[in-house]
Structure 1
Amino acid sequence: MVIDTRGTENRKSCSECRCDQFNLPDNFFNVSVDINGKPLSPDYKGGIFCCHDNFQCKLRKGFEAPRRNLALRYKVTWVDWDQQQIPVRFYILDSTDRVKTIGSQIIHDCQAEYTIPENNGDDLFHVQKANIPMDKGGYLIYGTAHMHSGVVNASLYRQDGKTLCTSTPRYGTGKEAGNEEGYAVGMSVCYPKPDSIKINDGEIVTVESRYKNEFLTGAMGHMYIYLADRLPHTT
C-alpha cells in the first residue's frame, strides 16, 4: 500500500486511512462490504476499506503537486537445494483472531485490523490479544511483528505464559526515506537459538499487540513466525 500524503489536511489521519480524510464516493457506504462480505457499517471510522485504489486524501486548499511515476523494486535470490536445506512453515498470527471450534474443527475469524476508540479509559496502553491453537507446531526460528505508528510492542506467549518473542518498534528521526520522523519505520526481529524453543502440536499461543491508548484507526497486530519440523544435524 502506498499513500500519498503530500499537501494533505492531516498527514497522520491520512496515513491511518481515516474515512473522513478521504474523498470517498457519495455512495461509498452503500456499496462497500467488510472483510466478511457484509455491508460496511456507517460507524466505520477508518482502515483498509477507506484506502482503496485511486482514493485520495483531502488536500489543503490551493495545493498542487507535480505528478510522479513511482515503482517498487525488489530482488529475489535463491540457493541450490540440498539435503542441508530445511523448509519452514510461515504463519501470520493476528491479535484480532476470534477463534471458534466446532467439534474438532478450528475456525479462524481474523479481522485484520481494529480501531482503538476515543475515551477508552485512563490506561496508558491499549492491549488486543488472541489465543490461537497451533494445529502444527515446530521449532521457532524467526519472529517479528507488523504494527503501525503508535505501537508500543507486540508479544507472542506460549501456553504456560512464557514469552516466546517480543517485537519492538523503531521510530524515525529524520526526513529521508525509511527514517521519517514520528513514524514506525521498523520492528525488531527475534532469532531464538535454533533448539531453544519448540511449540507443541495443539499448543495454544497468545498474540498480544500493544498501542498507546489514543484514538487510532486501521491498527494491526500481526505476528509473523517461521517454524521448522526439525533442526540441522550438528557435529
Structure 2
Amino acid sequence: MGVDGQPLHLNYKGGIFCCQDNLQCKLREGFHGPTRNLSLRYKIRWVDWDENQVPLKFYILDATDRARNGSAAIHECQIDYTIPRNHESDSPHVKKANILMVKGGYLIYGTAHMHTGVVNATLYGQDGRVLCTSTPKYGTGKEAGNERGYLVAMSVCYPKPGSIKIKDGEILTLESIYVNKFHTGVMGHFYIYLAEQLP
C-alpha cells in the first residue's frame, strides 16, 4: 500500500509512496540488520520584533502538479515520479507544471529540491521571465557530503529585495529537467519565500 492507502502498481520500483511512517525498505526474508537509536537536539532563540523584519510565506511548488477546477484549484501532485526506461535518449526529460499563485509577493529566496540525474530546475513568471534557476552540484570525493557522482547541493537564488515581484493571480511555470535515463523516486520541487511587503 502507498502513503495514500491505495495499492502500489506492480511496476513501482521505489520512492516516497512506499515510505509510510514506521515502515522500512523491503528486506530479504530472515534478514536482521543492525539497529541504532538517533536523536535530534536543537535550540530555539526568540528575538524582539522590529520594523526591519517582515513576515514571509513559504511555498513548495511541485513539477507534477496538475491543478484543476479553475480559480478554486485542486492540486493533484504526485510528489515523486519515474522517468521510464523505454524513453532513454540524448534529449533531457522535462516535466512542467503551471501553478496559480493566488497571493503573490516579493521573491526573497528560491531553490529546488531534486535528485541525482538533475540538469536544473527553473521557475518562470507568467510573462516568461526567469524568476530563479537552481543548478546541481555533484560530489567529487569520498567523504560524507561530497560523494562522487551524487547530487550534494542545489544552488540558491537571493534576488535583490524588491527586484522580483509575483503578482496576485499570476501563473508560474515550474520546469524540472533530468537526464533522460530510467530513474525512480524523482522529485521536482521548488521552494520559495515571498514577502507581501518590504521593510
State the TM-score, normalizing by the size of structure 2.
0.88
Unaligned runs of 5+ in 1: 1-31
Following superposition, the deviation at residue 86 of structure 1 comes to 0.3
Residue type of the partner of 2:107? L
Residue type of the partner of 2:178? Y
Q: Which of 37, 48, 53 is residue 85 of structure 1 equivalent to?
A: 53
Residue type of the partner of 1:131? N
Is residue 63–residue 189 contact of structure 2 (8 Å, CA) maintained in 1? yes
**Following the alignment from structure 2 to structure 1, what is the Cα–Cα distance between the partners of residues 43 and 134?**
25
Alignment of 1:21-40 (within 5 A): 32-33=1-2, 35=4, 37-40=5-8
Q: Which residue pairs with 1:24 in the alignment?
A: none
Q: Which of 105, 128, 138 is residue 95 of structure 2 equivalent to?
A: 128
Cα deviation 1:49-92 (Å, max 9, x = unaligned): 33443424658xxx997544433444444422122210011000
> Aligned pairs, how many?
196
Pair 1:119-2:80 in alignment: no
Pair 1:199-2:175 in alignment: no
Unaligned runs of 5+ in 2: none
Q: Which of 130, 143, 149 is residue 163 of structure 1 equivalent to?
A: 130
State the TM-score, normalizing by the size of structure 1.
0.76
Percent pairwise identity? 66
Q: Which residue pairs with 1:183 in the alignment?
A: 150
**Following the alignment from structure 1 to structure 2, what is the Cα–Cα distance between the partners of residues 161 and 228?**
21
Q: Which residue pairs with 2:24 in the alignment?
A: 55
Cα deviation 1:132-165 (Å, max 9, x = unaligned): 0110001100000101111111110001111100
SS at match of 1:119: helix
Pair 1:137-2:104 in alignment: yes
Is residue 153–residue 167 contact of structure 1 (8 Å, CA) maintained in 2? yes
RMSD: 2.2
**Following the alignment from structure 1 to structure 2, what is the Cα–Cα distance between the partners of residues 172 and 125?**
21
